[in-house]
């Protein structure tokens, strides 16, 4: 179970860093960001998270805000995975 949490945490961290990188390029590249190949890679990596965020948010949430919802979801998932990792480590070491 510990290995599964480690793998999920790594996948979540990749998506989180890709989303942050996409946000930084969004700010710096401006209107030409769609022609940037690195932005395309970040956009491809974060597409599943963005689709999930759009799926769970109500329709009145604007598309411009879906990135913030996705960031919030990834940060919550990261916190939960850190807590699970700590719990499983403590349980496996038997120090309770």
The whole-angstrom separation of Cα 78 and Cα 16 is: 9
Distance of CA 34 to the CA centre of its chain: 21
* 47 touches 67 (CB < 8 A): no
Q: Report pLDDT for 10.
A: 96
* 70 touches 46 (CB < 8 A): yes
Residue-level pLDDT, tens digit, the chain, 96 residues: 999 999 999 999 999 999 999 989 988 887 888 888 888 999 999 999 999 999 999 989 888 889 899 999 999 999 999 999 999 999 888 766
Domain around 23: 2-93
* Structural domain count of the chain: 1
Q: pTM of the full predicted structure?
A: 0.85
């Amino acid at each position: 179970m510990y290995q599964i949490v480690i793998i999920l945490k790594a996948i979540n961290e990749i998506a989180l860093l890709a989303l942050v990188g996409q946000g930084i390029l969004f700010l710096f590249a401006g209107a030409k960001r769609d022609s940037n190949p690195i932005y395309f890679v970040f956009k491809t990596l974060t597409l599943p998270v963005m689709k999930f965020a759009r799926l769970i948010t109500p329709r009145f949430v604007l598309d411009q805000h879906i990135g913030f919802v996705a960031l919030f979801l990834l940060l919550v998932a990261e916190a939960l995975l850190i807590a699970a990792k700590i719990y499983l480590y403590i349980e496996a070491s038997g120090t309770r």
